[in-house]
Structure 1
Amino acid sequence: MTFKTKLLLITILPLVAVSGLIGGITFFQASRLIEAQTRAVEERILSSKRQEVQNAVSLALTSIQKLYEEEQGGREAAQNEAKRILNDITFGEDGYFFVYLKDGTNIVHPKLPDLVGGKWWDLQDPNGNYVIRNLMAAAEAGGGFHRYVWDKPSAGMNAEKLGYAVMLDKWDWMLGTGLYIDDIAREVALVRADFTANVQQTVLVIFFITMIAILLSLTAVATVSFSEQKFADGKLKELTHRIVDVQEQERKRVSSELHDSISQLLVSVRYGIEMLHSKSPENGDLQVQAERCLRILDDAIAEVRRISKDLRPSILDDMGLSAALVSLAKDFEAQSGITVEISADRCRNRLPDSAKTALYRVVQEALTNVARHSAAAYVSIRLVAGERTLTLTIQDDGVGIPLPLPQLGGLGIRNMRERIETHGGTMVMSRVGAQGTMIRVTMPMLPEESRTAA
């Protein structure tokens, strides 16, 4: 283990240990607090519901008290009137009263009239809870509560309900009502979610503080250990980038001079010799000499144009990267006799000019290497512009790079990689199967905001 690694471990491990301990204790204590708080909230809401349902039963008892005590018109008439009154009393959206006889027969149920007249002593809710039996037991004990699952009319589905029942001993009636408490679960869930979010936020803050502390430590160690090396690397990359820029500017200047100056001068001289040639038809020797000079001038003009194009193809500036690569492929195929298949997407305005130049130079250098070293008969070039990334693939069917793969330290390969890395891209060179070489370049692209051809 190196000294730098030991220094990093000594600096970071205590921070991680302390932060983990603090986070664990915080999480444990917060979990206990959440459970206590949610239980308190649930109990507070349940207490309020109990009081509400007791008040509702008291109201129902008051409404039938005179009938129960006096039984005017006889017991049956009093009971029928009491049933009518209880059927008509509702509260809230789902509040109603029910009455069961001691054998479990329902005689009042305004929301579920199908139950009236039926004997429901053995009725169980979905959890296997005997609803009527337990309500009857609570009522006979002097009035009490019972929680069960029951149909909720407004929702059309089952929900948990808090029931309260009392006995009317003279009539052998169990009178009760209830409130649905599914809203308690929602409120408790909200409270729990709020507490949990706070805990998570606290743990996240601890995590971020730890990360910041670690980053600060790493930065300090890196600054002490590697500042000079990073400074040198940065300056070297900056110098390399500057050299490439100056080189391209000089290439462009020389290319322009060759094309606009020397080439034009040679063309002018050619026009002059053509004029001499046309005006001296009777002088055979002069005609032969003029024709020889014209051939030499044509070769010179073609060579100047070739050099100018190699230095800086004007099509790259005028028509864009895609057209320039197609032109380069055609020229290479004509000069080398190697078949080139090319497919190049247009990059539009999503790459800076310097990046397009870098890609063009990479293809140019790769084709030069193919011609010199690969003994290939076929080359494939693919330029694919994705949503965020451009991919360039150059593959040949030649002898391939030797195995094991070399460190790719040649000047040409290094220049290719540095050009790509300058623009945030990567270049990978690999062998394809038993033979052939593939170069794969990826480069980030700007967001597609306009449609101008590039």
Structure 2
Amino acid sequence: MTFKTKLMLITILPLITVSILIGSVSYFQARRLIEIETHSVEQRILATKRQEIRNYLNLALTSIERIYEGEPGGRAAAQESVKQILHNMTFGEDGYFFVYSLDGTNLVHPKLAHLVGKKWWDLQDPEGDFVIRNLIETAQNGGGFHEYVWHKPSTGLVEEKLGFAIILDKWNWMLGTGLYTDDIAREVAAIRADFSESIRQTVIVVFAITLVAIVVAGLLIAGVRFSEQRFADSKLKELTNRIFEVQEQERKRVSTELHDSISQLLVSVRYGIEMIQSEASRTPVLRGYADKCMRILDGAISEVRRISRDLRPSVLDDMGLATALVSLGKEFETHSGIKVDVSPERTHDRLSDSAKTALYRVVQEAMTNVARHSGATHVSITLVVGRHTLSLTIEDNGRGLPHPLPQGGGLGIRNMRERMETHDGFLQLRNMAEGGTRIRVTMPLNKTSERAA
């Protein structure tokens, strides 16, 4: 597991865990509050309905009080008058009063006329409750409320109802009324749905905030990582550039030592051998040894000069990149037998010395690869200097690059890329359609010299 992955996990996993915990706790706490709140609302509504039922029943008692107490025209007449008054007293869409005798016979029912005059002592609702029997029992116990299921006139359905019954002792009647409570269930369900929606939105907000936090954390980590990587790349580029500079300085020092010291010593020795050679003309054996030493010494001088030139070509410092490339092409053609065409444009002062050296080393490495691996018979080197960039192209007619190319290429290709990247350049290798390899280098020129260009 990479360090970046570990850092992401260390940062994001706690966020996810905390968010899940917060969301879960919030959800269950909210569900608990919903139950408490809906129960409280239900009790408040029931209390309101109970008080409303009491008020209606008190109103009915007030309406029949004078007739019930005085019994004008006799008890039978008074009872008929009371029945008529209660039959006519309705409230709301489904509110009415009902009267039963203590044996369960219905005396008044404005909504269900078929019940009147019949005994309903054993009547049960769909849930098995003995409605009339329990209402009469509740009334006989001092009056009170009783919940049951009953036919609702406005809908024709059977709904839950809260009834209240009292006893008219003088006549042995049970007087009652009630209100349907299905609206309470709907109101509680609506409140529950509203709370549930609020919980859902809260959970969504929590997880949305978590997602945003994760994204922000990821971006910050990526930004830090990218910044660190850029910093590391810049330091690596500086280190690579410094290594190349040290290499070139050391090569230049060694080249100078070879040219100015070792080469001069060898030349001095050569002068001495020439003198010995002239004096030994009368001795054939000594003359042969002198000629042999002269040939070995000439070879040594040539090898020292070649090594010195390879380490640091003096023509690059003295005449510039274009002339150095021409010289390199001629020398390569002489030693390898491969024809080389060089078409360079002068860069003047638009390239730093280190950039010129880097380009020269790239061409040198490319020519070495051509001689070793390509089997080419012709190489073309083109250097084009534009307004803002320089373009260097090296083409050969050899067998081309292997496919697929090894990761990163060989050591030489990696060195070429690193040299170019050190100077913000770009190196591209590809096989040409007609055969052979093309290496293209693009490098920015010095901005301070664009006006002069």
TM-score (norm 2): 0.50
- Report deviation, 1:263: 0.3
Matching of residue 300 in structure 1 with residue 295 in structure 2: no
Equivalence for 1:129: none
Counting only pairs closer than 5 Å after superposition, residues 129-278 of structure 1 correspond to structure 2 as 220-278=220-278
Trace 1:21-420 onto structure 2 (pairs within 5 A).
220-420=220-420
Q: Does 1:437 align with 2:437?
A: yes
**Residue type matched to 1:391 in 2?**
S
Which contiguous aligned blocks of 4+ residues in structure 1 show a shift greater than 6 angstroms?
216-219
Q: What do the CA deviations read for 1:53-72 (whole angstroms, capped 9, x no partner)?
A: xxxxxxxxxxxxxxxxxxxx
Deviation per CA, 1:318-343: give whole Å up to 9, x if none. Answer: 00000000000001011111111110
Cα pair distance change 1:329/1:290, threshold 3 Å? same
Contact kept, 8 Å, 1:349 with 1:450, in 2: the verdict is: no
> Matched residues in 2 for 1:385 and 1:218: separation?
44
What per-residue deviation string (whole Å, max 9, x for no partner) do you get for residues 428-454 of structure 1?
001101521100000011234558xxx
Match of 2:379, SS state, is strand
Relative to structure 1, the CA distance from residue 384 to residue 293 in structure 2 (aligned partners, 3 Å threshold; closer, same or farther) is: same
Change in CA separation of 1:289 and 1:355 when aligned onto 2, cut-off 3 Å: same
Matches of 2:299 and 2:372, distance apart in 1: 24
> Tell me, which stretches of 5 or more residues in structure 1 are unaligned?
11-215
> 1: CA distance between counterparts of 2:227 and 2:387?
37
Kept in 2: contact 1:355–1:423 (CA 8 A): yes
Q: Amino acid of the residue matched to residue 320 of structure 1?
A: G
Letter in 1 for 2:420: I
Contact 1:241–1:422 (8 Å) recurs in 2: yes
Q: How does 1:15-26 map onto structure 2 within 5 Å?
A: none
Distance 1:218 1:445 in 2: 38
Q: Name the amino acid aligned to 2:391.
A: T
Which entry has the higher C-alpha Rg, 1 or 2? 2
Q: Distance in 2 between matches of 1:217 and 1:234?
A: 25
Alpha-carbon contact 1:255-1:307 (below 8 Å) kept: yes
Q: Provide Cα deviations, 1:136-195, integer angstroms capped at 9, x if missing partner.
A: xxxxxxxxxxxxxxxxxxxxxxxxxxxxxxxxxxxxxxxxxxxxxxxxxxxxxxxxxxxx
Q: Structure 1: how far apart are the matches of 2:308 and 2:368?
A: 17
Answer yes or no: is the 8 Å Cα contact 1:345–1:385 preserved in 2.
yes
Structure 1 counterpart of 2:83: none
What is the alpha-carbon distance in structure 1 between the residues aligned to residue 347 and residue 221 of structure 2?
A: 42
* Counterpart AA for 1:251: R
Once the 2 structures are TM-superposed, how far is the Cα of residue 227 of structure 1 from its aligned partner? 4.5
Give the Cα separation in 1 of the matches to 2:218 and 2:417: 29
Conserved? CA contact 1:259–1:305, under 8 Å:
yes
What displacement does 1:293 show?
Answer: 0.7
SS at match of 2:435: coil
Q: CA RMSD in A?
A: 2.6
Change (3 A) 1:266 1:233: same
User: Take 2:322 and 2:241, find their aligned partners in 1: how far apart are those partners?
Assistant: 24
Q: 1-side partners of 2:394 and 2:252: how far apart?
A: 25
Question: Where does residue 427 of structure 1 map in the other structure?
Answer: 427
Q: Which amino acid aligns with 1:368?
A: T
Q: Tell me the TM-score normalised to structure 1 length.
A: 0.50
Query: 2 CA distance for matches of 1:431 and 1:296?
Result: 43
Q: CA deviation at 1:219?
A: 8.6
Identity %: 64
Shift of 1:399: 0.5
Give runs of aligned pairs for residues 5-20 of structure 1, distance below 5 A: none
Cα deviation 1:90-115 (Å, max 9, x = unaligned): xxxxxxxxxxxxxxxxxxxxxxxxxx
* Map of 1:103 onto structure 2: none
Q: What is the rounded CA distance, in whole Å, between the counterparts of 2:382 and 2:222 in structure 1? A: 41
Query: 2:378–2:397: 8 Å Cα contact kept in structure 1?
Result: yes
Aligned in 2, Cα 1:219/1:351: closer, same or farther, shift over 3 Å? Answer: farther
Cα contact 1:425–1:441 (8 A) shared by 2? yes
Contact kept, 8 Å, 2:237 with 2:421, in 1: the verdict is no
Distance apart, 1:246 and its partner CA:
0.4
Note the C-alpha offset of 1:419.
Answer: 0.5
Separation in structure 2 between the aligned mates of residue 219 and residue 387 of structure 1, nearest angstrom: 39
Distance 1:394 1:259 in 2: 30
CA drift at 1:235: 2.7
C-alpha spacing 1:424/1:230, structure 2 compared with 1 (3 Å): closer
Helix, strand or coil at the partner of 2:438: strand
Give the conservation status (yes or no) of the 8 Å contact 1:255–1:312. yes
Deviation at 1:236, TM superposition (A): 2.2
1:221 CA displacement: 4.2
What is the distance in 1 between the residues matched to 2:356 and 2:218? 37
- 8 Å CA contact 1:344–1:384 kept in 2: the answer is yes
- Give the aligned partner of residue 22 of structure 2: none
Distance of 2:358 and 2:394 partners within structure 1:
15
CA distance in 1, matches of 2:429, 2:404: 13
Shift of 1:217: 9.8
* Whole-angstrom distance in 2 between the partners of 1:218 and 1:268: 72
Any idea what the Cα deviations from partners look like across 1:385-412, whole Å, max 9, x if unmatched? 1111100000111101123344333111
Q: Using the alignment, how far apart are the partners of 1:369 and 1:380 within structure 2? A: 14
Per the alignment, residue 22 of structure 1 pairs with: none
- Distance in 2 between residues matched to 1:445 and 1:235, nearest whole Å: 22
* SS of corresponding position for 1:281: helix
